[in-house]
Structure 1
């Protein structure tokens, strides 16, 4: 069945690097928007070739510096004021799609909307481990919001306006396996350490290891990762590993600039 487009024009935005396994599905769940802009960090797989087979898609390649820069570039390229920004591993369900269209048909809308995300790891739903309150801005007016430049990872959208939250969940198929997840969490930690250094933070041995240990305790026990079984243990460990690499990165950047 052909989706009914929203009467409000929407730009769909995605940032990518080597997402050939995800790119078709994420593009196809944006079939109700009016244009799709992909900012690609010079993928070495078939991401760009696949994306270019869709007539509604425009791909711009830009060297990766940090996630925030890529996202703000995508915002600059969007033709329409309403933007729907997805990660390549996120999926809009039919109920969520209907809710988005219905929301934008209202006489009065908010300026930005949180989406609550349902996290999957290795194909299995995760119910705890800190994911139970996971939500992000995904639908917003670009003249009312921008990503804060100082945040190099875990990008933060600053909204100058009203905020709402949608009821239906966005599916987040974050990682297929341990190796991919580990690599990603380490890379997040490295960028976060650089961010802390740029903010003037100084390395402290005790802070490094206390925060690393507490991150595991928080995810596995306080945030009930233990109820997610083996996957909860993996997620909690890798969250702690990311904190460990954050402080390793902070220490490295500090030494490089003495």
Structure 2
């Protein structure tokens, strides 16, 4: 019938957490425009769960953490709306990005998914280079048209049945709270990447362990202009390279553990 308007699209905002106090508060405030906010927490010990439990707009569920892909796939199943905004706990949606998201999902010609470019923050100062200037991620998509591939367990990848667009406004990423926090993240990512390599039957190599971390640092600090970020750039590039080194250390540990288990069960 003439005169009938298209119903407003509803949006589910999803986040996974583990010990995110200091990050999660700003994240939740920035997605309060969503019709539904669901957070899956992997048994935080720093008050994150209690904060979310007391938040009137948040539905929080606790679920054991296996890996990032499994946790995000589980979280996606909890959403009741088709349009999904999936953020990390240290990401913040600006007011202009909120407006762009709302306009996008209500556009009859919208794509099935959208990439977001990110503005990286070192504490409260922007990190303009250091390899992050071209970083982009799928953050907005239709649940009915996308899923997380099980081929990766860290830096999870969205598989989209259809076309993807790119939003104009950037997502703000508070990647660096303090040295130990970021170092812990990089070591954890390295360990998970090693598990991914191990499952794919990739083997530990001393030459690669020597070359890859150095290349990571050189690439991000020199070629990707981390040097222009000053001390911030040095710190980020060093810790990113440390994560690559940990990937090889962990792969070596996994192979030794596997060999020991093999000999123990030999007749």
TM-score under structure 1 normalisation? 0.95
**Are positions 1:168 and 2:169 aligned together?**
yes
Tell me which residue corresponds to 2:221: 220
Dislocated runs of 4+, deviation >3 Å: none
Could you report, residue by residue, the CA deviation over 1:136-169 in whole angstroms, capped at 9, with x for unpaired residues? 1110011211111231111111112110000001
Q: How does 1:58-207 map to 2 (within 5 A)?
A: 58-207=59-208
Q: What's the offset of the Cα at 1:212? A: 1.2
TM score, norm. by length of structure 2: 0.92
The number of residue pairs the alignment matches comes to 253
**Equivalent residues of 1:194, 1:250 under 8 A apart:** yes
Q: CA RMSD in A?
A: 1.2
Confirm or deny: 8 A CA contact 2:83 2:105 kept in the other structure. Answer: no
SS in 2 for 1:187: helix
CA distance in 1, matches of 2:248, 2:143: 34
Q: 2: CA distance between counterparts of 1:83 and 1:204?
A: 40
- The superposition leaves residues 159-186 of structure 1 with CA deviations (integer Å, 9 ceiling, x where unpaired) of 1211000000100011211111111101
Q: 1:104, CA displacement in angstroms?
A: 1.5
The answer as to whether partners of 2:83 and 2:141 remain within 8 angstroms in 1 is yes
Three-state SS of the structure 1 residue aligned to 2:198 is helix
CA contact (8 A) 1:34 1:56 kept: no
Deviates more, 1:166-175 or 1:53-62: 53-62
| Cα shift at 1:63 | 0.9
Task: Provide the rounded CA distance (Å) in 2 between the counterparts of 1:21 and 1:177.
Answer: 11
5+ residue gaps, structure 1: 1-5
Give the stretch that moved more between structures: 26-35 or 129-138.
26-35
Residues 48-102 of structure 1: CA distance to partner in whole angstroms, max 9, x if unpaired? 2211223331111011111111100010111111110111111100110111111
Deviation readout 1:3-57 (Å, 9 max, x if unpaired): xxx9101111000011122222211211111111111000112212211223331
| 2:48 aligned residue | 47
8 Å CA contact 1:23, 1:50 repeated in 2: no
Q: Which range moved further: 237-246 or 49-58? A: 49-58
